[in-house]
Amino acid sequence: MEGHHHPYTSVNIDTGGGGGADRFPQWSIQETRDFLIVRAELDPTFMETKRNKLLWEVISTRMKEKGYNRSAEQCKCKWKNLVTRFKGCETMESEGMRQQFPFYNELQAIFGARMQRMLWIEAEGGGASSSKKKAAATAQISSDEEDDNDDSDVDQKGSSKKKRKTRSNTNTGNSSNLITSIREIMEEFMKQQMQMEMQWLKAYEAREQERRIKEMEWRKTMEDLENERMMMDRKWREREEQRRIREEARAEKRDTLITALLNKLRREDM
């Protein structure tokens, strides 16, 4: 037995529709917002799989983790009611009428994010006309959300099976186009990487050649400086040798003159 509310005292408030699993206990505003947060996180997974019974069980488990005792069936019925209310608000031109639905912005954010994903997939798959994109978006909100990819669709026959088969083929085609686009992007990326590497190698070789030329010029300059130093050293040694010879000649002349003077003085003394 869920909750302690009497079945006859339960009334539906303006939180996104009543009936079904929205009976006792009531969904509070905060509980519904927490539910929409969980549903928004799993929305991409809902759009990728057609067997979503397990996903509703996951939502039920997460709601229990947040302190709400809601079954998978209650969560699914609540989602359908919220989508029905949202579609009704979408047809209203008055902004005030939309504001009476307290979860309009949350639903709009979920479907807006879904639209962005669809546009990205369409763009990666070669693009599509705007009318086709709008039609696809309308189909996602109306058909997919009302039926919510229910597992009971597996038992339907005739047109329902054909629709699912067509949808599956479309998804397969989109996946194939997406893989092809990713492969082309990777090939283009690798080509650009190769070009960048070749340019880097050419620039490196040019810098290395310039470095070698400058090194050769530096070595030649050093050799010229060394030769000039050796030449200057040789000249210095030659000048020093000439100076020494002149000094020795002057010393010899001086000694000869002094000797002559001494000899002359000796002769005069005698």
pLDDT in tens, 161-179: 555 555 555 556 566 777 7
**Mean pLDDT along residues 184-197:** 85
- pLDDT confidence bin for 100, thresholds 50/70/90: confident
- Give the C-alpha separation, 112 to 100, whole Å: 20
Report phi then psi at 139, rounded to 5: -65, -40
Q: Which two three-digit tokens encode residue 103?
A: 């979860």
* Alpha carbon separation from 8 to 23, 197, 253 (Å, rounded): 10, 76, 149
- Give the C-alpha separation, 59 to 74, whole Å: 10
Q: Which long-range contacts (CB under 8 A, 24 or more apart) does 103-106 make?
A: 103/15, 103/16, 103/32, 103/33, 103/36, 106/33, 106/36, 106/40
- pLDDT confidence bin for 247, thresholds 50/70/90: very high
Torsion, CA 13, CA 16, CA 20, CA 26, rounded to 10: -40
- pLDDT confidence bin for 95, thresholds 50/70/90: low
The answer, yes or no, to whether residue 197 has pLDDT greater than 70, is: yes
The answer, yes or no, to whether residue 4 has pLDDT greater than 50, is: no
Closest of 32, 38, 36, 40 to residue 15, by C-alpha: 32
Q: What is the mean pLDDT of the chain?
A: 77
Lowest average pLDDT, out of 17-21, 83-87, 104-108, goes to: 17-21
- pLDDT confidence bin for 88, thresholds 50/70/90: confident
Lowest average pLDDT, out of 16-30, 82-96, 100-114, 169-183, goes to: 16-30
- Give the C-alpha separation, 44 to 151, whole Å: 17
The answer, yes or no, to whether residue 8 has pLDDT greater than 50, is: no
DSSP 103: T
Domain spans of the chain, in order of start: 20-154
Q: Which two three-digit tokens encode residue 153?
A: 């669709």
Q: Which two three-digit tokens encode residue 243?
A: 């100076």
Give the pLDDT score at 169.
Answer: 59
The 3 state secondary structure assigned to 10-43 is CCCCCCCCCCHHHCCCCCCHHHHHHHHHHHHHHH
Give the pLDDT score at 172.
Answer: 61
Domain with residues 20-154, CATH architecture: Orthogonal Bundle (1.10)
The answer, yes or no, to whether residue 227 has pLDDT greater than 90, is: yes
- pLDDT confidence bin for 141, thresholds 50/70/90: low
Give the pLDDT score at 122.
Answer: 74
List, for residues 229-238, the tens digit of each pLDDT value.
Answer: 999 999 999 9
The answer, yes or no, to whether residue 204 has pLDDT greater than 50, is: yes
User: Residue 120: enclosing H or E segment and its boundaries?
Assistant: helix 104-124
